[in-house]
Amino acid sequence: MLDKVLSTLKADHDAALAELFEFMKFQSVSADPAHGGDVRRCAEWLAALLTRDGFTASVEETGGHPAVVARWQKAPDAPTVLVYGHYDVQPALMEDGWTTDPFEPQLNEGRICGRGASDDKGQLFCHIAGLRAHLRAVGKLPVNVIMLFEGEEESGSDNLEGYLVAKRSELACDAVIASDTAQYTGGRAALTYGLRGLTYLEVTLTGPNRDLHSGTLGGVIANPATALARMVGLLVDESGRVNVPGFYDDVTPLEQWERDAWAKLDYDEAALAAELGVTDLFGEPGYTAVERMWARPTLDVNGIWSGYTGEGAKTVIPAVAGAKLSCRLVPDQEPDKIAELVERRLRLSCPPGLKMEVKHLHGAKPVLLPSEGKFVDCAKAAVGAAWGEDPVFIREGGSIPVIETFVRVLDAPVVLMGFGRPDDRIHGPDERFHLEDFHRGMEASARFW
């Protein structure tokens, strides 16, 4: 039976790629209100595709961008698995440095290129293809399936928790599977058992009621740009450790078994530096790069602005300065608590005469997931067969806010089966997904069921 499913899947490769291209053409950028219509049209397209493929699908209102839910629940006595993915994408403009139009997907040198190729349209499509191969080959699925594809992951999944709580009983399941992570370096099969969390702040410093001449008035008031640079600079020390009182209080230290296991992964730090085009890696002392990426918290400036940045010189004291800051969090740090601590530290160093405003943008809790159990075993076998090698168990530095909500609200084990690669350039220009990974991902999905 599996042979028949896999040969049906293979015969579907080209059609699946063409449909993925259609899917990627929607500019479903959740962060930008101007793309609200595109997000909704993408959801409608996805629901129509899933209906055609034999699922009971609908576009579901969440209060924000809609989610798509599709079901096939005709296997009494078999477990129910919820498949999670997101059809929204990060913004992408040609001027960000794309070589081809981000929303005109194409195949270049064995890679699917375009926004969402890997994060997460290509990966979620692997499950659609893997599931429908069963329906097409044998007319049924071996398990019950609920697909939940959301439209707000890239902007923090603000409305999904409310939806999950309201629909808890309709979404009851024995396990959740999500493919929105990556393989280990170099295309090595991996399952992910930990994600970092996130807390995101925007700080604005306002000084005089207008930009001033820096000669006539320089020296009599605090300069918002100078102050902000200093305040932000103080948040991380020269060694790379976060310098916010209380920041590390709730950090669960790395376990020795993890450090040993990760050391065996033999991560090539020099290769990473070379790939990133830097002469040296840098970060908190006492930890390897992998440990810092997967299991240590950070504080980063994501953007900073003030004053004159055009050609030549303009002698001005800017009226306003602003910065976007975010922290990646590890168990058991709490996003709200960390945001408070950072805000307090900033306030302490804000000079007199400046007004400081802080907005708390989104947060996500860190998670650690089981690395054993029935569903993990299935994922291990499925990925192992599709990749031709046993997967390694890794953690990831990125965040998927709803994963922690699944654990808490649905009380189900979550398996993260990532088909992307660390160098897929997600969120950046020229995002891509290897065609080979698309094929292997579809196969792993089909085998998992």
Identify which range of 5-13, 100-108, 151-159, 162-170 contacts ligand BES by CB under 6 A: 151-159
Give the shortest CB-102-to-ligand BES separation in angstroms. Answer: 16
Counting contacts by CB under 6 A, is residue 182 touching ligand BES? yes
In whole angstroms, give the CA distance from residue 73 to residue 173. 11
Beta bridge partners of 415: 177
Give the shortest CB-82-to-ligand BES separation in angstroms. Answer: 18
Quote the Cα angle for 64-67-431, to 5°: 95
Q: Which helix (H) or strand (E) holds 387?
A: helix 374-387
Number of Cβ within 10 Å of residue 305's Cβ equals: 14
Tokens of 300: 């980063």
Residue with tokens 């009599």: 220
The site string for ligand BES over 119-138 (x = CB under 6 A, - otherwise) reads xx------------------
Counting contacts by CB under 6 A, is residue 179 touching ligand BES? no
Q: Are 116 and 24 in contact (CB under 8 A)?
A: yes
Counting contacts by CB under 6 A, is residue 333 touching ligand BES? no
Among 64, 130, 391, 398, binds ligand BES (CB under 6 A): 398
C-alpha distances out from residue 255 to 93, 108, 261, 367, Å: 42, 42, 10, 15
Nearer to ligand BES, 155 or 306 (CB): 155
Among 30, 181, 183, 185, binds ligand BES (CB under 6 A): 181
Among 17, 42, 50, 198, binds ligand BES (CB under 6 A): 198
Choice among 38, 119, 153, 443 that is catalytic:
153
Number of residues binding to Zn ion, judged by CB under 5 A: 1
Q: Which spans in 221-334 are helix H?
A: 224-233, 256-264, 269-276, 289-295
Give the shortest CB-184-to-ligand BES separation in angstroms. Answer: 11
Counting contacts by CB under 6 A, is residue 151 touching ligand BES? no
In whole angstroms, give the CA distance from residue 239 to residue 236. 8
Given Zn ion, ligand BES, none, residue 16, with its beta carbon under 5 to 8 Å by kind, binds none
In whole angstroms, give the CA distance from residue 45 to residue 359. 35
153 catalytically annotated: yes
Range 99-138, binding Zn ion (CB under 5 A): 119
The dihedral through the CA atoms of 51, 52, 55, 56 has a sign that is positive
Q: Which residues are catalytic?
A: 88, 153
Binding site for Zn ion (CB under 5 A): 119
Q: Give me the residues that bind ligand BES (CB under 6 A), please.
A: 119-120, 153-154, 156, 180-182, 198, 362, 364, 396, 398-401
